[in-house]
A = this chain, B = another copy of it.
Amino acid sequence: MADLTGNLLVAQSGGPTAVINASLAGVVQEAGKHEGIEEIYGSRNGVLGILNEDLIDFNEEKARAIDNLKYTPGAALGTCRYKLDFKKKPEQAAKDLDRLCEVLEAHNIRYFCYIGGNDSQDTSNKIHQHAAERGYELRVIGVPKTIDNDLPNTDHSPGFGSVAKYNATTIAEIGKDVGSMASDQGMCCLVEVMGRSAGWIAAGTVLARRNPSDAPHIVLVPEIPFDQESFLSRVKAVTDTHNYCVVVVGEGIKDAQGEEIGVDKTRVDAFGHPLLSGAAENLGEIVEEKLGTKTRTAKLGYAQRAAAHFASQTDIDEAVACGQAAVRGAVEGKSGYMIKLVRGQNDPYECHTELHDLNEIANQEKLVPREWLSEDGFLPNEQFIAYAAPLIQGQPKLPLEGGLPKYVVLENYSVEKKLLVKS
């Protein structure tokens, strides 16, 4: 099995993370070590680049650029959200799958590594199965990534550690700032963070809290239905005690009826759809109105998932390791697997990679366990901290230029097309 010779293709998919390029670097650097792998190609914008035969040649890139991908945010190859949707568009999906395999075959791709979330793992599996049906020997391994940390089957996902580190740092800093203005008759600062229906990112900010007076004072996760009355009474209790209150708001929090707090029911857009003003903004208005407390809000948005300047070195290392493991698995003859992270122990922290069968990738989201949150649901507890703390360790040595991080821009040297027309 191990003596299959041909080219390797790597692609990236979905929303970027601070370390999605570290996995890319891991794939490319590991691929360079194996004799069976001849050329190393990248696909521009995920599977779209395969469909369009838009491939680049990594052997034309500088070794230093490949290495510095570990510190560069965004997805260096470009990404996409294109889905092989056999449910809604079975004909298009079947046609796409044929085309994908044609392009792979035309370029003698024998190894394919797809860095992405659950949808991308599903695409990887379909390509794996379809190649087998066509009798084309192809080894497909998925590499996990998501800031949301909601992928099942893996202890955690590359990308989460870095957003947790950056957001915890930001909350600690905002806490210092707001706390030092506490003579101003109390203030409540609400900070909205990402994570959709999973509370991992919001919960991760608890790592900033070293003393009972420290921010965050309240963490609202989507796993706990939002109750306005108990929230307001908690804000009041905190401001009465500390004269300020820092609230972390998961963007996707919902009330007991399942209604999103971020939706502003009083306003609609041009099509009559309710507008999303943001959960923190809406809660800030409620706090001002009901408690008379001055509020300020922040919404970190994409800043949090792109914050490579303060990424976790542990996260970078694991993202690289996942990329390397994917190539090693493929070279060893495996196909139809995703790399997962398996934690050995917490102190000292030990984590290694394993392969997980893509047929067994559960399709549900992994949420924060109820028992990792305080009884009242307003703060993650020691169990959560034991889980998350090892993931934010280590500060990368960033390449800097003119006072700012120096990011890699790939040369994007195109691979000559072999197929004339997109089918």
Binding site for B on A (CB under 8 A): 12, 15-16, 45-46, 48, 72-82, 165, 168-170, 172-184, 189, 191, 207-208, 266-267, 269-270, 275, 277-278, 281, 285, 288-289, 296-303, 305-310, 312, 314, 389, 392-395, 398, 400, 402-405, 407
Most buried by B among A80, A170, A398: A170
Distance, CA A182 to CA B76, complexed state (A) = 12
Distance, CA A327 to CA B80, complexed state (A) = 58
B180 near A74 (CB under 8 angstroms)? yes
B403 near A182 (CB under 8 angstroms)? no
B173 near A308 (CB under 8 angstroms)? yes
| Residues of chain B within 8 A of A75, CB atoms compared | 180-181
A72 near B393 (CB under 8 angstroms)? no
Beyond A81-B184, A177-B306, 5 additional pairs, beta carbon < 8 A: A73-B173, A75-B181, A79-B180, A173-B306, A298-B299
A309 near B310 (CB under 8 angstroms)? yes
Task: Identify whether the interface residues of A are mostly helix, strand, loop, or mixed.
Answer: mixed
Distance, CA A270 to CA B247, complexed state (A) = 22
| Residues of chain B within 8 A of A296, CB atoms compared | 301-302
Q: How many copies does the complex hold?
A: 2
A299 near B302 (CB under 8 angstroms)? no
A290 nearest CB neighbor, chain B only: B270
Distance, CA A80 to CA B183, complexed state (A) = 6
A184 nearest CB neighbor, chain B only: B81
| Residues of chain B within 8 A of A81, CB atoms compared | 184
| Residues of chain B within 8 A of A278, CB atoms compared | 281
Distance, CA A312 to CA B298, complexed state (A) = 22
A403 near B407 (CB under 8 angstroms)? no
Could you name 8 residue pairs across A and B whose Cβ atoms are closer than 8 Å?
A: A74-B173, A74-B176, A79-B183, A81-B184, A298-B302, A300-B303, A312-B403, A392-B403
Distance, CA A183 to CA B278, complexed state (A) = 26
B176 near A72 (CB under 8 angstroms)? yes
Check A181/B16 contact, CB under 8 A, given A173-B307, A269-B289, A285-B269.
Answer: yes
